[in-house]
Amino acid sequence: MEFLTNRTPAFWSALDELAATSAVIIDRAKGTPHPRMSDLIYPLDYGYWEGTVAGDGQGIDVWLGSQTKKMVTAIGCTVDRFKRDAEIKVMLGCTEEDLQTISHFLNKAAGLPCVIIKRTKL
């Protein structure tokens, strides 16, 4: 698995501001199946930031990792060939193992090509 890095402070600061001002709504808890694909089980809590809008018209997608402090640690950029869209998914409080788990889930289990961009400075 390959990770890209990004050192653009304004990008990460903007995400930090959204994290600080938006509640996380978990609509797919760890261990629960996808609503339309019952064999696809979420390995970590997954939801969205309340009061935000992503490219699909829904809230910005968020993965919650296993760290106690839920800082923005990475983003995942996905492409959905079926829906013909691309999105980012913000990763909060993710360890290296969490990022690998998310990458495997998206790329392999869900079939969504994904690149993870890790935050290099926290």
Structural domains in the chain, sorted by start: 3-119 (3.90.80.10)
Q: What confidence tier does 4 reach under pLDDT thresholds 50, 70, 90? A: low
Q: What is the pLDDT of residues 23-47, one digit of tens each?
A: 999 999 999 999 988 999 999 999 9
Spatial neighbors of 43 by CB under 8 A, at least 6 apart, are: 30, 101, 102, 105
Q: What is the pLDDT of residues 42-77, one digit of tens each?
A: 999 999 999 999 988 999 999 999 999 999 999 999
Q: How far is residue 37's CA from residue 122's CA, in Å, rounded to a whole number?
A: 36
Q: Give per-residue burial for 24-58: e unless 16+ CB within 10 Å, then b.
A: beeebeeeeeeeeeeeeebebbbbbbeeeebeeee
